[in-house]
Structure 1
Amino acid sequence: MKDESSRRDPLFTTRLLVGLWIIALGAIFLAGNLGWIDTRQAFRMFLPLVFILVGTSMVMRPANKRANRWGWVFIAIGSWILLNKIGWIDLNFWQLLFPLALLGLGGTLVWRAFAARAGAEAAPVVDEHSEYIRSFAVMSGTELRPVSRPFRGADLSAVMAGIKLDLTDARMEGDVATIEMFAFWGGMEIYVPPDWTVTSKVATLMGSFVDKRRPTSTVPTRTLIITGFVVMSGIEVKN
């Protein structure tokens, strides 16, 4: 039996953060209308504080290591912007955002390339009649629909592009398959059969991962794991 403390909700929940955000907005507007503060100056400090608050909520969830790491990134961004606003740092963070984004994008692609190569070398021999899908789209659109051979996984990357993967008629090799994805200023749509259940391990940064599957009475017999990183992009799963 699990300890009672392990079942407690984290201190900083989404509901609490939204509530604090609304209270802060109300306090700023009220103080500004009463002439106590300069509303424009207060809002200049509000954005970095939001970054710090969101980052803190992510750090306070040690069970989710991916969210914990990105929490420190949010705290660093918010702290940098705040120190710049009060004049302690002369270099504006937004002047670094674009080159940092390019460095991060390039580094991620290089890391994924080496990781995929190492995984391919270490992976056991698989059935040559099964299908592993690889797609890399840049400023373009790609539609994929594997039906001829059993599906055993995919590696999808979209940079300012869109990818549509239709698996509704696919047969999964085994009981579990994994899709590795990376999206930067792009979007992906993944269609799955009604008897597949989907597990998301996707990390998002200014992006979204939405499960739009309709309820079905079909008993799930296969599991599709979706993992990866999404930056300023949208991912949708449908059936």
Structure 2
Amino acid sequence: MKDRSIFGIILVLLGIGFLLEQFDIISFNNIISSYWPIILIVIGVVGLLKKGSSKIGNAILLILGILFQVRNLGLIDINLFKLFWPIILIIIGVNIIFSKNKVSNNEDFRDSSDGMSARVSLEDRIDEFVILSGMEINIGSQEFKGGKITAIMGGVELDLRDAKLHNNKATININTVMGGAEIHIPETWKVEHSGTPILGGFSSKKRVKIDSNSPVLKINYTLIMGGIEVK
């Protein structure tokens, strides 16, 4: 099921609930105040089951939804906002631990003009993690398949203008915490994106020339006080 369909179903159910309350059939406000975290749980579960989605973002939504729900039911009595950052750090830490990261003979390092560490790579996949720093990556692969980027209080600039996509499609999963990513793509590529912005946002300023056969770059993201910009 597509994300827009799930969102539409949620809106329909909310509308029906408020309508029934207007006829004094149910007390929908009380139901919402007690069970609104179920919306987070549903979105998180669907996202985790969705192929190619951002697992970190959906795991955060699922865990927060469960914690808010058990609190609303009176099963625990704690300030959940105090748990927010520790939970996020644990999830990101686990993700980093199990991430595959390697240095290849197909990579070369150099210093960019703005002082960031820059790398030229011919690898078909990327798996990058930056914290309190920046990284510039220029991809030259002619069979680029996508990968993963995690930025914590740092930034990643990804240049794909010299790359070609494997079978005309690739997926990049991006997770940021007080960080960001800037992606440069050829004007003939089409960009599809979906994700979870928490005090963050996604923007595309690229003026593209696309048709039905254009390569498709899909970006799945979780943004916590961060952003992604496609140029």
Shorter chain as denominator, the TM-score bin is 0.5 to 0.7
Higher relative contact order (CA 8 A, sep 6+): 2
Q: Give the number of equivalent residue pairs.
A: 209
Note the 1:73-92 alignment, pairs <5 A: 74-92=61-79
Residue 158 (structure 1) aligns with: 151
Report the Cα distance in structure 1 between the residues aligned to 2:98 and 2:135, rounded to whole angstroms: 25
SS at match of 2:101: helix
Q: Deviations over 1:164-217 (max 9, x none)?
A: 4454xx4226867775643223222212111334466x7546465555543415
- How far apart are residue 51 of structure 1 and its match? 1.9
Contact 1:180 / 1:227 at 8 angstroms: preserved in 2?
A: yes
> Within 2, Cα distance between the matches of 1:219 and 1:65?
22
- Secondary structure at the counterpart of residue 13 of structure 1: helix
Counterpart mapping for 1:116-131 below 5 A? 116-117=101-102, 126=106, 131=120
CA RMSD of aligned residues (A): 4.8
Matched residue, 1:172: 163
Task: Tell me if the contact between 1:156 and 1:179 (Cα under 8 Å) persists in the aligned partners.
Answer: yes
Structure 2: distance between partners of 1:95 and 1:52: 20
Counterpart of 1:235 in 2: which secondary structure? strand
Q: Is the 8 A contact 1:196 1:220 kept in 2?
A: no
1:196 is matched with 189
| Structure showing the higher helix proportion among its residues | 1
Report sequence identity in percent. 21
Q: CA shift at 1:138, angstroms? A: 3.7
Q: CA deviation at 1:156?
A: 4.2
Q: Name the aligned partner's letter for residue 37 of structure 2.
A: P
Matched, 1:111 2:111: no
Corresponding position of 2:179: 186
Larger Rg: 1
For residues 220 and 186 of structure 1, what CA distance do their matches in structure 2 show?
A: 33
The aligned residue for residue 13 of structure 1 is: 6
Shift of 1:139: 4.7
Matches of 2:90 and 2:39 in 1, distance apart? 25
Partner residue of 1:97 out of 66, 73, 84:
84
The CA deviation string for residues 16-38 of structure 1, in whole angstroms up to 9 with x for no partner, is 2222234445666x48xx8x969
Alignment correspondent of 1:4: none
Query: For the structure 1 residues 161 and 26, does the alpha-carbon distance in structure 2 shift closer, same or farther, using more than 3 Å as the test?
Result: farther
The more displaced of 183-192 and 128-137 is 128-137
Q: Deviations over 1:68-103 (max 9, x none)?
A: 997676455334322212312234443322211111
DSSP 3-state at the match of 1:97: helix
Give distance in 2, aligned partners of 1:71 and 1:179: 16
Q: In structure 2, what is the Cα distance between the partners aligned to 1:54 and 1:156?
A: 22
* CA 1:104–1:215: 2 relative to 1, 3 Å: same
C-alpha change, 1:50 and 1:228, in structure 2 (3 Å) is closer
